[in-house]
Amino acid sequence: MGEVSEQVLGQGWATPVTLDAQGEVRLEAGAEKVRQAIRLILDTRRGERVMRPDFGAGLEDFLFEPVGTTTSALIRQRVETALIVWEPRIDVHEVAVDVADRRSGRLHITISYRVRATNTFYNLVYPFFLQEGRAT
């Protein structure tokens, strides 16, 4: 199954880029490469990529916004749209934004998705902070 998954889903540099035991660039393939691509979309600011200024979810736009249902709904919509546009290997089943810690402004963005080529379902929880870090 691994070889078929690799052929269908592709193989590329691991994110973040690191070296393996032989000193070569570490590669990832299959479902792990898809998961890394999703995280890359969520981590990328709009305008950050010169040749693709519209790439990414642009979640930094929500920094310092109040913790509430409006902000959560806007983040959910932004994540869902970015994944539909930029990750064609998946079908987004659900995006949920939950307040994990209101005081620190920590949200958990839970993404349920299906890899089209293998018809396998996965979940990814992406922590996102609306406020700057501070000692508690």
The band of 135, judged by pLDDT with boundaries at 50, 70 and 90, is very low
pLDDT of residue 26: 77
- pLDDT higher than threshold 60 for residue 65: yes
Q: Where are the domains of the chain?
A: 34-129
CB 91 within 8 A of CB 117: no
CB 18 within 8 A of CB 26: yes
Class of 34-129 per CATH?
alpha beta
107 Cβ contact partners less than 8 Å away, ≥ 6 residues apart: 67, 72, 75, 97, 98, 99, 100, 127, 128, 129, 130
pLDDT of residue 28: 77
CB atoms inside a 10 Å sphere around CB 55: 18
Q: Give the integer Cα–Cα distance in Å for 54 and 45.
A: 9
- The CA radius of gyration of the chain, in Å to the nearest whole number, is 16
Looking at residues 18-28, what average pLDDT do you find?
81
Q: Give the integer Cα–Cα distance in Å for 128 and 107.
A: 5
- pLDDT higher than threshold 60 for residue 66: yes
| Residue with more model confidence, 100 or 1 | 100
pTM attached to this predicted model? 0.81
Residue 128 corresponds to which amino acid?
F
Among residues 6, 72, 15, 7, which one has the least CA distance to residue 41?
A: 15
pLDDT of residue 136: 47
Q: Which of 15-24, 62-71, 90-99 has the lowest mean pLDDT?
A: 15-24
Q: Which two tokens stand for residue 25?
A: 């660039």
- Residue % of the chain over a pLDDT of 90: 60
| Residue with more model confidence, 24 or 115 | 115
